[in-house]
Amino acid sequence: MNSFVLSHCSVYQQGRFAPGEILVEDGVITRIGQGVPRPAGLPEIDGGGMRAVPGFIDAHTHGAVGVDVNAADEAGLKKIAAFFASQGVTAFNASVLTDTEEQTLRCIETIKKVARQRGYGAQLLGAHLEGPFLSPQYKGAMPEWLLRAGDTDLLKRYMASAGETLRYLTVAPEVPGVAELIPYAAPRTAVALGHSGATYEQSMQAIRDGARAITHTFNGMQLFHQHAPGLMGAGLESDVWCEAICDGRHLHPGTVCMLLKCKGYGRVVAITDSIMAAGLPDGRYKLGVNDVIVRDGDARLAVGDSRAGSTLTMRQALINLMRFTMEPLEKALPLLTQNPAALLRIDRQKGCLAPGLDADIVLLDDQCQVRRTFVRGDCVYQREEQP
C-alpha cells in the first residue's frame, strides 16, 4: 500500500511542526495540510499524535547487524536496509572501503542490483567509494597496500560498472593524479575530500574544481594550524558540506558545536560511518579486509588500534546532536535529512516533506523512538507495541 492519508500527526515542514495530514499517492506526497481533500476510499493511517518527519539519509555507512558492505551479497544489503529502517533511515549509500579492483567491481554490481529493487527497507541509493585514491599518511582504517595514485582509467571502469549508482566518491586531492581526476568526476558524482594531508591551497583548488564535501570532518586529515590551515581550514571557510560522526567518540561534543557555529546548520551532514557491528554487542568484526575489535561500543583495528568506523545509528546521532547542542529536534533534523539530500543532489526527490517528493516519512514518538518508517509510500518498519 503506497497510497494513503496519514492523519492525526504533527508534520515537520520548513523548520517547524504543525498539525496536519499527508496525502500520499503512488508513493509520492501530493498534499499536506489540515483536512486535505482525498480520493474516495483511500486508506487512512492514524499517526497517533506523533511527529511526522522526513526520513533520515545516511550518506556514509559500511554496514550493520553483522553485514560488511565489502563482503555483502544482495540478502546482506537488504538486511542492512531493514535494520536502518528501524532507525528512521529511508535512504543510504553503501560505502565500499578501499579494496582490490575485482572486489570493488563485485561490490558495485551487487549494490546496483539491490538499488533497482524496492520494499526491502531503507532505499539503497548506490555506492560510495571511499578510496582507493587516498593518502597513506592519513589512511586510518584503509589498507595501505591497496591505496594508489589517482587513476582516471580505473575510475572510468568503476563508473561504467555503476552507472548512476555511483553516488559518492572520497579522494585525497594531494595524491598524485587526483587533482586531474576531480574535475572529471565532479559532474558525474558527488566528490568529497578526506583521508588527506592536503594543503589549504590544494584543498581550495579541489573545491573550485567541484568537490562538494569533507569526509568525516576533523577525522583522517591534517588538522588546523594557524600557519597551515590545510583541508580542515578549507572545509570551514568554504561552502562545502561537512560530514560529522556524532557518536561522542570521533568528535567531542564541543567540536560538533564549533563545526555548527562555523558552518551553520545548513552545511553539516550527520553520518554514521557505521560498520557491521552496529546494532550488535561488543566483539570481533570485519571492516573490509581489516579485523576490528569493538569494546564498549568503540570500534578499533585489531592491529594498530586506529578507530575503524563506528557502531552509531542515525537515530542515536539525532539524539546526540540535540544533547550536544541543547537545541530542539526542529533544529537538528536538517543534518539528517535535507542536507544529505542536497549534498547527493537528490533534494528534488527526498530530504523534506513536500508535495512532489517521495513519501519517505518517519513517525517519531516523544522519546524520538521510531514507530513507523515509510519508503516511497511503503511501510517498511512498524515498531511493535511494548507490553
Q: What single DSSP character describes residue 228? A: B
Same-domain check for residues 156 and 76? yes
User: What CA–CA distance (Å, rounded) separates 260 from 254?
Assistant: 10
**Please, are residues 20 and 33 in contact by the beta-carbon 8 Å criterion?**
yes
Same-domain check for residues 317 and 370? no
Q: Write out pLDDT tens, residues 252-275.
A: 999 999 999 999 999 999 999 999
Same-domain check for residues 170 and 263? yes
Q: 76, exposed or middle or buried, with CB in 10 Å at 0-12, 13-18, 19+?
A: buried
For residues 38-70, one letter each, b for 16 or more C-beta atoms within 10 angstroms of the residue's C-beta and e for the rest, the string is beeeeeebebeebbbbbbbbbbbbbbbbbbbbb
Residue 264 CB neighbour total at 10 angstroms: 10
What is the CATH number for 30? 2.30.40.10
> What DSSP element (H or E) covers 363?
strand 361-364
User: Measured on CA atoms in the order 308, 313, 317, 323, is the torsion positive or negative?
Assistant: negative
**Paired strand residues for 285:** 292
Averaged pLDDT for residues 71-75:
98
Q: Write out pLDDT tens, residues 120-174.
A: 999 999 999 999 999 999 999 999 999 999 999 999 999 999 999 999 999 999 9
User: What CA–CA distance (Å, rounded) separates 194 from 133?
Assistant: 10
- Give the CA distances from residue 355 to residues 15, 24, 30, 36, in Å, rounded to whole numbers and listed in that order: 16, 9, 5, 12
Q: Which cell goes with 195?
A: 583521508
What is the CATH number for 258? 3.20.20.140
pLDDT of 1 higher than 70: no
The reported pLDDT for the residue numbered 224 is 93
Type of residue at 146 = L
Give the number of domains in the chain: 2
User: What CA–CA distance (Å, rounded) separates 104 from 314?
Assistant: 26
Same-domain check for residues 10 and 20? yes
Grid-cell match 561534543, residue found: 253
The reported pLDDT for the residue numbered 40 is 84
This prediction's pTM: 0.97
Averaged pLDDT for residues 292-311:
93
Type of residue at 100 = T
User: What CA–CA distance (Å, rounded) separates 80 from 60?
Assistant: 13
Q: Which cell goes with 227?
A: 600557519
Averaged pLDDT for residues 27-40:
89
Same-domain check for residues 27 and 72? no
The reply to whether 273 falls in a domain is: yes
Determine the 3-state secondary structure of 149 from DSSP: coil
User: What CA–CA distance (Å, rounded) separates 33 from 173?
Assistant: 47
Averaged pLDDT for residues 112-125:
96
Determine the 3-state secondary structure of 154 from DSSP: helix
pLDDT of 247 higher than 70: yes
Provide the CA 311 distance to its chain's centre, in angstroms: 14
Pairing of strands 16-25, 67-68: unpaired
The reported pLDDT for the residue numbered 330 is 98
Same-domain check for residues 312 and 359? no
Same-domain check for residues 65 and 98? yes
The reported pLDDT for the residue numbered 311 is 98
* Mean pLDDT over each residue of the chain, to the nearest integer: 96
The reported pLDDT for the residue numbered 387 is 41
Domain range for residue 40?
4-53+351-382
User: What CA–CA distance (Å, rounded) separates 356 from 118?
Assistant: 19
The reply to whether 155 falls in a domain is: yes
Same-domain check for residues 134 and 267? yes
Q: What single DSSP character describes residue 262? A: H
The reply to whether 387 falls in a domain is: no
Phi-psi region of 66 (alpha: psi -120 to 50; beta: other; left: phi over 0): left
Same-domain check for residues 220 and 367? no
Same-domain check for residues 179 and 315? yes
Helical spans, DSSP H, in 99-174:
101-115, 152-162
- Any catalytic annotation for residue 273? yes
The helices-and-strands tally (H runs, E runs) of the chain is: 10, 21
The one catalytic residue among 68, 99, 273, 358? 273
Same-domain check for residues 357 and 283? no
The reply to whether 338 falls in a domain is: yes
The reported pLDDT for the residue numbered 35 is 81
Residues ≥6 apart with Cβ < 8 Å to 353: 11, 12, 13, 22, 29, 32, 52, 53, 54, 361
Same-domain check for residues 116 and 190? yes
User: What CA–CA distance (Å, rounded) separates 224 from 244?
Assistant: 16
The reply to whether 264 falls in a domain is: yes
Q: Write out pLDDT tens, residues 315-331.
A: 999 999 999 999 999 99
Type of residue at 73 = D
The reply to whether 94 falls in a domain is: yes
pLDDT of 183 higher than 60: yes
Averaged pLDDT for residues 224-241:
97
